[in-house]
Structure formats: structure tokens, C-alpha cells
């Protein structure tokens, strides 16, 4: 090898200074997404490529949610007709299995979504745990409170930090982490029949996929919900390893948010 001699301290400085510079630029954003599963990343990609300053916080080491494991640990997923154009647009390979059913490699699908979101200018931070929302004086969600995931796991008494956002998206799936926090700490009324969490119902992919677009809404002032979290809060069914609804839900949320931001 030739050129500059590698200095270990310089390597450290390069990582720390680059990360801090990026993070400081992301402390005020237009949209903050909690959860880097397929719905969250789809929303992030569409928002980012439209020029919306977007950040994604993922508590795990690897973004991707449950898609990596496909179904039953087999790394393939199913996509239906309605969502296939999205995979074609992203240049993700599909194979026709039966009329209306397409299979796709879960690793290719998720790695492509991550790459496309990053290339669209989205910031993705892994190992970051959501802990709370920021709430404005008029009871509107206006940001997120975060901490390092290892600090949360270790139960260390270390205060978190805050990131401001015009809108927040709960893309945390079955756990509905942001929505649960809004209910327990803020007392906000949700845009559901009861004003509270309706609760996830058991598997019925047909019903779950049918209603997910209707369930993708601004669930509380400043807070949108996508993907499985949308069905869970509205009392709809889980869908299993068919992921078309996840992608379509993320795209719908991005469109609705762009309309709102364009009018603000």
C-alpha cells in the first residue's frame, strides 16, 4: 500500500466528527420516522426524493424490521398485484408464483429500500431508541425524544435528547411505540372509533391488506401511523409475510405528508 500512513486517532476523529456533524444537522427536521421497517422506509424514500428533510430512528443494529426473515425464517416474501409496480420501480426482482401472487427475496427487497432511502437524502440512525414525544403547548406532537439503545437495555440513568419535527410517523409495527406513549403520557384522543387504541386482531391477510390504506392516517395532531401499527391501532387484522400493504401504506403517508407540508 502507498500514500498517507494510517493513523488510528485520525480514524476515530473521522468517524466521530462526521457523525456529529450529520446528527446536529438532523436535530430539526420536517418528518421524523420511528422504526425502519418496510412501511417506514418506503415513506422515508418517497419523502426524501421529494426534498422533504426526513430522519429515521431504528432501535436495532440492522434496519429492516421483520422483513429480513421473510416468512417462517425463509428469506422470501409475497407481494400482490397492487404493490408490484413499487418493486418494479425500485428494480427489485419478482417472480410470478400464481395469478396475483409474486415472490421477492426479502434480503434484496430490504437492502434496496435502505439504499434507496439513503440515496434520496434520508438520514437513518440505528441503535437509537424512541423514549417519548415532544409535545407543543397546543397538544400537538412536534418531535421525538431518543436515547442510545444500549443505554435503554442497560437501564442506565442517562437522560435522553430531543429532535424537533413538523410531523412524526409511528412505523414501529405491532408495538405501536409512539402511539402508546401518546396515550399513556399525553392523553391525546386518537382518530379511532373509541379515541383509543382498538387493538390488533388475529391473522386475516385479505382483510388486513384491504383496510391498511384507510388506516394510514394522521392518528393524532402531528402524528401519522403506517404499516402494521396502523392496523393495530385501528383494530384491524395482522397480515403475515405478504408485504404489499406495508409499502402502499408508507407511500400513502408520504403523499399525505407532502400535501400537508406543501400547504404549510
**This prediction's pTM:** 0.97
Q: Which of 218, 227, 257, 253 is nearest to 53 (CA)?
A: 257
Q: Residue 119 belongs to a domain with what CATH number?
A: 3.50.50.60
Q: Is the residue at 217 inside a domain?
A: yes
Q: Is the residue at 234 inside a domain?
A: yes
Tell me the residue ranges of DSSP E strands in the chain. Answer: 28-34, 54-57, 76-80, 95-98, 101-105, 123-125, 128-135, 141-148, 161-170, 218-220, 223-225
d(CA 78, CA 163): 36
Cell output for 128: 437509537
Q: Is the residue at 22 inside a domain?
A: no
Q: Is the residue at 9 inside a domain?
A: no
Taking only the tens of pLDDT, the chain with its 264 residues reads 668 899 999 999 999 999 999 999 999 999 999 999 999 999 999 999 999 999 999 999 999 988 999 999 999 999 999 999 999 999 999 999 999 999 999 999 999 999 999 999 999 999 999 999 999 999 999 999 999 999 999 999 999 999 999 999 999 999 999 999 999 998 889 999 999 999 999 999 999 999 999 999 999 999 999 999 999 999 999 999 999 999 999 999 999 999 999 854
Domain tally, the chain: 1
Q: Is the residue at 16 inside a domain?
A: no
Query: What's the domain range around 114?
Result: 29-262
Q: Is the residue at 162 inside a domain?
A: yes
Q: Is the residue at 121 inside a domain?
A: yes
Q: Is the residue at 15 inside a domain?
A: no
Amino acid at each position: 500500500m502507498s500514500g498517507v500512513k494510517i493513523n488510528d486517532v485520525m480514524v476515530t476523529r473521522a468517524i466521530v466528527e462526521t457523525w456529529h456533524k450529520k446528527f446536529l444537522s438532523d436535530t430539526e427536521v420536517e418528518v421524523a420516522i420511528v422504526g425502519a421497517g418496510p412501511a417506514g422506509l418506503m415513506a422515508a424514500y418517497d419523502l426524501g426524493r421529494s426534498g422533504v428533510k426526513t430522519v429515521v430512528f431504528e432501535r436495532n443494529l440492522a434496519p429492516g424490521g421483520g422483513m429480513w426473515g421473510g416468512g417462517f425464517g425463509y428469506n422470501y416474501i409475497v407481494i400482490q398485484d397492487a404493490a408490484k409496480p413499487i418493486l418494479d420501480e425500485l428494480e427489485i426482482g419478482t417472480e410470478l408464483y400464481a395469478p396475483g401472487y409474486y415472490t421477492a427475496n426479502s434480503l434484496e427487497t430490504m437492502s434496496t429500500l435502505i439504499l434507496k432511502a439513503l440515496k434520496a437524502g434520508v438520514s437513518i440512525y440505528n441503535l437509537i431508541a424512541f423514549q417519548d414525544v415532544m409535545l407543543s403547548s397546543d397538544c400537538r406532537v412536534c418531535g421525538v425524544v431518543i436515547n442510545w439503545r444500549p443505554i435503554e437495555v442497560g437501564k442506565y440513568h442517562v437522560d435522553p435528547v430531543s429532535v424537533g419535527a413538523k410531523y412524526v410517523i409511528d412505523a414501529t409495527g405491532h408495538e405501536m411505540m409512539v402511539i402508546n406513549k401518546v396515550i399513556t403520557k399525553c392523553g391525546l384522543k386518537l382518530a379511532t372509533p373509541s379515541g383509543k387504541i382498538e387493538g390488533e386482531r388475529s391473522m386475516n391477510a385479505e382483510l388486513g391488506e384491504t383496510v391498511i390504506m384507510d388506516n394510514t392516517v394522521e392518528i393524532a395532531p402531528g402524528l401519522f401511523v403506517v404499516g402494521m401499527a396502523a392496523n393495530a391501532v385501528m383494530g384491524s387484522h395482522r397480515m403475515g409475510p405478504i408485504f404489499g400493504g406495508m409499502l402502499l401504506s408508507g407511500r400513502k403517508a408520504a403523499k399525505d405528508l407532502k400535501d400537508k407540508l406543501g400547504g404549510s
